[in-house]
Structure 1
């Protein structure tokens, strides 16, 4: 069985240890000969990497491990690049969230003005990773789960159209794991789903078990009362189950009410209920602050403890189980297994009554040729209208980045459903531009 070499771009991320643990739990499906960490912040990466090296050596000492800030070292002789970078780190995420809230507008890392600001920062970083891979390992695949995935996907479609790159998001998988629990199944593969939309902006239309039984009626009834909350969300400590995520999962019941025949992505709450979201957000202590005070401290503390003890035995470190989609994707590409997955791909007729150049999130079969999307057909007027508005925002952001256009970025802000007026859009844009001059192109 072929053993792969991978590089994790974003080696200093707090999600990296959980992904390493998940990879090590799946070595029977996806054997590894080499794991490399790449980051442009050597100091931050060092803490995470030293702990992960100990974890890897304890599990399988035959796997070569390396941490580096040098692109040539990182990207040479790799089969898969796993990219989850955060340009500007949590300091900039905090500003993405707090600046819109000053004007009574949703402050969120991937939705509305905050997502636009983050997208303007992320484009260059992801393009650099693609270019490094193509220079040093041209036969490799880049699996991008850096946010905001919708804007990054549009940028890579347009600016690196022939690259071996796949954009993917963990949120639908996380929600589908809750479906599995609601229905009383054991594992994600027990259900087969139909879904369409844009990233963080979509709907499930059909869910069946392996025998073809329709599970939507039971799920719709449950969600209309409870949203996506399940008991383990209230009991377990995991990425998508803290207090703020519980509130988001519960709100899915109200989101679903607009189209009870479908099941919505949780992020639609920011577009359907922006007034509610602002009202229930502390403008001085946002999600970024919560993450800094919890996940950041916990993961770095656990990594330092592992390094100090020189063993992972008896230390707290959580397997990022929902991230098993990364292994599923790598397995499909490496072993031609036709894994069925939700991926972000160019529409090109998949949704027949929608922009063919839009980057849509739909079920695909993954082989060594890459993703092969499954046809959706036509979509209803409401979803089509919402998606057209949102995809226009995403395209305008990439226009703005490419053309260095202040006007296009203002148009993108003004077109977002989360922003109440053109004048408010301009105020938010001016504030965000001021703090992002280090990261954005100079706008004219």
Structure 2
């Protein structure tokens, strides 16, 4: 292609950026990026500077002719961008800690992508993503936005429901982890081709079939996981509890580890409350890991992504984003697991929903895999419930109305009392008010 290939990463000071760059370096022979721009906000400038210096060393060591830039001016950075990746955290990790602590203080699960914590992360994030999209539409309308900011499902739903922007794809590392697990437990060779029938919503996906070199091996996989001879795939930020054999055999689906929050709600809450009463929440662990990572990143001798990054919980997010960009740029027509509208291909859910499923990716973006036309009825009730929560959450992010927040909270299966929902809404709106300008009126009303 003649056009310069320019990637802009918003949230460039993230600890994940070295993995993103490693992915670009590894693929440089087919994804020849001329410029990588790392963009952040003033609060993230110190981290951005550290990441920028590490990226310069990585590029020099790799010997690829890629230029890396850093900027606090998003609009200037977006000029002539081919792809924009978003990996931002509004309010940084301190806001995540509030998302976890405040629900736990009321006796509810505290988690950054579902329940009350997930809702408020969405309320802070969606308006910022909308601002980025407005800039992209004005400055580089041909660019694709590849989002791996959580809650990815809620953000994707909001973009397609409340804007007219169509070049937006949500990416998650959970399906990548599941795919790596499957390759491992089925003892696949590197040259073996793996295709997965995956469906659901972000952080609520199920695998219904697994194809190795065109042959289904799902029954073998299911037998191994259900019987416990193959340990189920989990991620660093979720306690590793096995699903019961009876449930797995009854479902005849392989659920992702985030389903623990719904299927083992009692056990997950007990674990989190135990940690909370000892003074700890996951965000503190992440802050400690991140501090250690940035101490490593400062080392002028370091010129590669350190192994320690995989402890961060979102390992392979960035690699997934590189693969999606590669598939679009080179019109690869290959299988990926992303968040996009299904445009009516799934016959038993509303046509305008955004879902996470197996798609074929190429120059025109993501198209649902032709093999998948139906979501399994056994889990449809839960999928409808969480999609109702996501739709209500995206509406609240747009409106800034307290009643919309209350509706979203009460639709979540992780909140069990309308009175508690009101207390949670008040406490979290006040705690996050710096990052929720649309809710200034609702927050002011609390003081009257």
Please indicate, yes or no, whether the TM-score normalized by the shorter chain is above 0.5: yes
Between the aligned partners of 2:395 and 2:305, the Cα distance in structure 1 is 51
Between the aligned partners of 1:384 and 1:145, the Cα distance in structure 2 is 25
CA gap of 1:152–1:288, structure 2 versus 1, over 3 A, is same
Contact 1:363 1:373 in 2 (8 A): yes
CA gap of 1:61–1:264, structure 2 versus 1, over 3 A, is closer
CA gap of 1:314–1:9, structure 2 versus 1, over 3 A, is closer
Once the two structures are superposed, what CA deviation does each residue of 1:257-292 show, in whole Å capped at 9, x if it has no partner?
374411002111111222111101211211111111
Residues 1:288 and 2:283 are matched in the alignment: yes
Between the aligned partners of 1:129 and 1:53, the Cα distance in structure 2 is 26
* Secondary structure, aligned partner of 2:69: strand
* Secondary structure, aligned partner of 1:280: helix
Between the aligned partners of 1:315 and 1:361, the Cα distance in structure 2 is 30
TM-score by length of 1: 0.90
* Secondary structure, aligned partner of 1:156: helix
Residues 1:221 and 2:223 are matched in the alignment: yes
Residues 1:90 and 2:93 are matched in the alignment: yes
Q: Which residue of 2 aligns with 1:360?
A: 355
| Gapped regions of structure 2 (runs ≥ 5) | 443-448
Residues 1:43 and 2:46 are matched in the alignment: yes
Q: CA deviation at 1:315?
A: 7.0
* Secondary structure, aligned partner of 2:179: helix
Q: Which residue of 2 aligns with 1:236?
A: none
The within-5 A match list for 1:92-107 is 92-107=95-110
Q: Which residue of 2 aligns with 1:112?
A: 115
The within-5 A match list for 1:54-65 is 54-60=57-63, 62-65=65-68
Between the aligned partners of 1:198 and 1:227, the Cα distance in structure 2 is 28
Q: Which residue of 1 aligns with 2:446?
A: none
Q: Which residue of 2 aligns with 1:437?
A: 433
TM-score by length of 2: 0.89
The structure 2 residue matched to 1:305, chosen from 299, 306, 329, is 299
Between the aligned partners of 1:129 and 1:87, the Cα distance in structure 2 is 13
The structure 2 residue matched to 1:384, chosen from 374, 380, 383, is 380
Contact 1:256 1:262 in 2 (8 A): no
Q: CA deviation at 1:55?
A: 1.1
Q: Which residue of 2 aligns with 1:29?
A: 30
Residues 1:347 and 2:350 are matched in the alignment: no
Q: CA deviation at 1:224?
A: 1.3
Count, aligned residues: 428
Between the aligned partners of 1:35 and 1:227, the Cα distance in structure 2 is 44
Between the aligned partners of 1:113 and 1:314, the Cα distance in structure 2 is 34
RMSD over aligned Cα atoms: 2.3
* Secondary structure, aligned partner of 2:111: coil
| Gapped regions of structure 1 (runs ≥ 5) | 234-239
Contact 2:16 2:309 in 1 (8 A): no
